[in-house]
Amino acid sequence: MTITIKSAADIEGMRVAGRLTSEVLDMLAEHVKPGVTTNELDKLAHDLIVYEQKAIPAPLNYAPPGHKPYPKSICTSINHQVCHGIPNDKPLKNGDIVNLDITVIKDGWHGDSSRMFIVGEGSIAAKRLCQLTYEAMWKGIMQVHAGARLGDIGHAIQTFAENNGLSVVREFCGHGIGHGFHEEPQVLHYGRPGTLEELKAGMTITIEPMLNAGRREIKEGPDGWAIVTKDRSLSAQWEHTVLVTETGYEVLTLSAGTPAPPAFVNA
């Protein structure tokens, strides 16, 4: 396993890419409302990234082994879609929940972040799922420091999720990130403390738990990209790009509109 340790200059590049990524989500937030299509959100994001940020939307034409190239600039996963939903012309409707997943490449560096949005008035169950998934991500982030292990992150997320009656998707995980979209190591959102790879200062990873209101089993949708819950229960995901420091962590995907951390983070 080859894990890249970033230099001070590398980290500065990652900060810029992370901020730009988060600013795309800030811009999109006001446009997520009933009647808007995810294709419209995709075009807004694409134009901001390409023409204003002078950057590259990483998902566009991304083709991992066994996949046809991804056709859009962002991922939009709605309701029971877990991840990798492809934008289309179907309007969002009141009560939908949608994950917008943005990855920006700037000067060769990747920033990767996603947020949940509730369209119009969401149900109590939908709001609870989105909030608890956000808190679960932060439970994982809080484990990050030099000398910790990847299993510590997964254990914190899994314990919190399952104690709140939610299930953790196992087949998809966070990852190292830098010049590559997906680098080593894999960052599982379940596991045992004190296991797996040791974190070292200068590593950059994503933490991006996908939690389901129902069972954890998933399947691939008909388009070859979107992943859905097998029982059609709601699914939510949040994601930040995180730098490992000697004493803790630095979240790299921050901007003016980034949601505040949960109260327990600063307690």
pLDDT per position as a tens digit, 11-23: 999 999 999 999 9
Does 1 have pLDDT greater than 80?
Answer: no
Pairing of strands 75-78, 97-106: antiparallel
Residue 169 in this model has a pLDDT that exceeds 90: yes
CA-nearest of 16, 204, 28 to 99 is: 28
pLDDT in tens, 41-69: 999 999 999 999 999 999 999 998 888 99
Where along the chain do its domains lie? 8-266
Report the percentage of the chain scoring pLDDT > 70. Answer: 100
- Tokens coding 266: 């600063």
Supply the pLDDT for residue 70.
Answer: 97
pLDDT at position 66: 84
Q: Which has more confidence, 66 or 203?
A: 203
Beta bridge partners of 244: 249
CA–CA separation, 235 and 237 (whole Å)? 7
Q: What is the pLDDT of residues 211-250, one digit of tens each?
A: 999 999 999 998 989 999 999 999 999 999 999 999 999 9
| Averaged pLDDT of the chain | 97
State the fold for domain 8-266.
Creatine Amidinohydrolase (3.90.230)
Count of beta carbons in the 10 Å neighbourhood of residue 180: 12
* Nearest Cα residue to 76 out of 218, 205, 229, 225: 225
pTM: 0.97
Using DSSP, state whether 167 is helix, strand or coil. Answer: strand
Q: What is the DSSP string of 55-93?
A: -EETTTT---TTSPPP-SSSEEEETTEEE-PPP-SPBP-
Residue located via tokens 């999109």: 28
Residue 32 has pLDDT above 90, yes or no: yes
